[in-house]
């Protein structure tokens, strides 16, 4: 069904019928429920803290012995936040946090080359996101700190991090 056909269909419904359909969507589909829960009660700080806890647990687990160190966990939260329409500064904060916790993890562990490539992708996405949303001044210090760590540490793909930083210029 096209957007136009949907608009026509919805305009023909009476208010009670429309309310009934929305309630049915709310009850049947969890993404709809999540969306409406966020729209009417946006506890952004609570969501951000929950995401940071999960990401930290990926690298420094509380209940298990070995860390999984999966980038996908952070990416899932970032994508979810963008979809919900969470403030761009909070999304950027989560992106920075993900890289900072990964850098702390890399100091303590011997990580594979794929880890560095993955973090380069995260860094590139972060700089692009911050540039697109015009919030560089707010995050400049953290970006520089993350970048300096990649250059002074034993990180692979140093040139890639430099190129990703050029996006901000």
Q: In sequence order, what DSSP letters do the residues of 138-156 get, joined into one string?
A: HHHHHHHHHHHHHHHTT-S
Query: What was the pLDDT predicted at 169?
Result: 72
Query: What was the pLDDT predicted at 119?
Result: 96
For 110, the 3-state DSSP assignment is: coil
Query: What was the pLDDT predicted at 167?
Result: 84
Phi, psi angles (nearest 5°) of residue 97: -60, -45
Helices (H), 15-87: 15-28, 30-40, 44-59, 71-84
The stretch 112-127 carries a mean pLDDT of 95
Give residue 168's pLDDT band: very low, low, confident or very high (50, 70, 90).
Answer: confident
Q: Is residue 129 within 8 Å of 91, Cβ to Cβ?
A: yes
Give the CA-trace dihedral at 82, 19, 33, 29, to 10 degrees: -100
> What's the CA gap between 77 and 169, in Å, rounded?
27
pLDDT digits (tens, 9 = 90+) for 123-136: 999 999 999 999 99
For 18, the 3-state DSSP assignment is: helix
pLDDT over 90 at 48, yes or no: yes
Cα angle 24, 27, 32 (rounded to 5 degrees) comes to 95
């Amino acid at each position: 069904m096209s957007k136009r056909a949907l608009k026509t269909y919805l305009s023909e419904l009476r208010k009670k019928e429309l309310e009934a359909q929305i309630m049915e969507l709310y009850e049947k589909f969890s993404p709809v429920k999540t969306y409406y829960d966020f729209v009417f009660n946006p506890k952004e700080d609570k969501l951000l803290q929950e995401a940071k806890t999960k990401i930290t647990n990926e690298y420094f687990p509380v209940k298990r012995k070995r860390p999984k160190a999966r980038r996908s966990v952070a990416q899932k939260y970032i994508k979810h936040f963008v979809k919900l329409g969470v403030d761009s500064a909070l999304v950027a904060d989560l992106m920075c946090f993900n890289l900072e916790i990964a850098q702390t993890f890399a100091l303590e562990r011997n990580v594979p080359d794929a880890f560095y490539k993955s973090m380069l992708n995260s860094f590139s996405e972060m700089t692009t996101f911050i540039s697109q949303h015009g919030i560089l001044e707010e995050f400049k210090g953290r970006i520089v700190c993350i970048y300096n760590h990649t250059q002074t540490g034993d990180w692979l793909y140093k040139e890639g991090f430099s190129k990703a930083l050029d996006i901000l210029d």
